[in-house]
Structure 1
Amino acid sequence: MNFGAKIQHPGPLQIWMSKASGDLSSYDGSGDWFKVYESGPTKFPLTGAAEEWGVYNKNIITFTVPKDLAAGDYLVRPEHLALHKPSGTEFYFNCGQMKVTGSGTKVPSATAKFPGVYDSNTAGLSPKFSLYQNAKSYPMPGTTLVTCELSLPMSRITRGMREETKQQ
Structure 2
Amino acid sequence: MIVNKIKKIVNNLLSPSDQPSQGTQNIKINEANLAFEQGQVFEQLAIKHHYLLDHDQSVHNNRNAMWNFLSAALKGHSEAQYKLGLGYLQGQLGLDKNHTHAQDWLTKAAKQGHSDAQYKLGLAYLHGQSGLDKNYTLAEEWLKEAAKQGHHEAQMTLEKAYSQLAFS
With normalisation by structure 2, the TM-score equals 0.22
More relative contact order, 1 or 2 (CA 8 Å, 6+ apart): 1
More helix as a share of residues: 2
Q: Relative to total residues, which structure has the larger strand share, 1 or 2? A: 1
Bigger radius of gyration: 2
